[in-house]
Structure 1
Amino acid sequence: MALYTPEYQPTGDEVAVIKTSKGDIRVQLAGKDAPIHVGNFVELAQKGFYDNLKFHRYVPNFVIQGGCPNTRDLTPEEVVRNAGNPFAGLGTGGPGYTIKQEYTTNPNNRHEDGALAMARSQQPDSAGSQFYLCLGTQHFLDPNYTVFGQTIEGMDVISQLRVGDVIEGIEIENAAC
Structure 2
Amino acid sequence: MFLKKLLVIVVCLPLIVTQALAHPQPEGKVIAASNLYPQIKMETNKGVIVVELNRVKAPIAVNNFINYVIAGEYNNTIFHRVIDGFVVQGGGYDSNHIPRKNGKEIYNESGNGLKNEVGTIAMARQNDPHSAIRQFYFNVGDNTSLDPGRNWGYTVFGYVTHGEELLMEMAGVETGFNEDLNLDDVPVEPLILIKATLMPEGYIHEG
TM-score by length of 1: 0.79
Moved more, 26-35 or 7-16: 7-16
Cα distance, 1:13 vs structure 2: 2.5
2:31 is the alignment partner of 1:24: no
Aligned length: 156
Q: Could you say if the C-alpha distance between residues 94 and 121 of structure 1 is closer, same or farther in structure 2, counting changes exceeding 3 Å?
A: farther
Determine which structure has greater relative contact order: mean sequence separation of CA pairs < 8 Å that are 6+ residues apart, divided by chain length. Answer: 1
Cα distance, 1:136 vs structure 2: 1.7
2:88 to 45, 61, 64: 64
Aligned equivalents of 2:101 and 2:119: distance in 1?
23
Instruction: Please tell me whether the aligned partners of residues 95 and 192 of structure 2 are also in contact (alpha carbons under 8 angstroms).
Output: no
Point out where structure 1 has 5 or more consecutive residues left out of the alignment: 80-88
User: Where does residue 192 of structure 2 map in the other structure?
Assistant: 166
Instruction: Please tell me whether the aligned partners of residues 51 and 161 of structure 2 are also in contact (alpha carbons under 8 angstroms).
Output: yes
Identity of aligned residues (%): 32
Moved more, 162-171 or 8-17: 8-17
Q: Deviations over 1:125-176 (max 9, x none)?
A: 100110000112112211110000011110111112252210001111236x
1:129-140 equivalences under 5 Å are: 129-140=134-145
Cα distance, 1:94 vs structure 2: 5.5
User: Where does residue 105 of structure 2 map in the other structure?
Assistant: 98
Instruction: Please tell me whether the aligned partners of residues 78 and 95 of structure 2 are also in contact (alpha carbons under 8 angstroms).
Output: no
Choose 1 or 2 for highest CA Rg: 2
1:45 to 59, 69, 75: 69
Q: Deviations over 1:49-102 (max 9, x none)?
A: 00100110001100000001xx3151xxxx5xxxxxxxxx87xx6513211111
Aligned equivalents of 1:38 and 1:96: distance in 2?
14
Instruction: Please tell me whether the aligned partners of residues 121 and 127 of structure 1 are also in contact (alpha carbons under 8 angstroms).
Output: yes
Q: Superposition RMSD on alpha carbons, in Å?
A: 2.4
2:132 is the alignment partner of 1:127: yes
1:33 to 47, 57, 68: 57
SS at match of 1:67: strand
**1:22 maps to amino acid:** K
**2:192 maps to amino acid:** V
**1:111 maps to amino acid:** N
Point out where structure 2 has 5 or more consecutive residues left out of the alignment: 1-19, 174-186, 202-207
Aligned equivalents of 2:101 and 2:121: distance in 1?
17
Q: Could you say if the C-alpha distance between residues 111 and 94 of structure 1 is closer, same or farther in structure 2, counting changes exceeding 3 Å?
A: farther
**1:72 maps to amino acid:** D
Instruction: Please tell me whether the aligned partners of residues 42 and 197 of structure 2 are also in contact (alpha carbons under 8 angstroms).
Output: yes
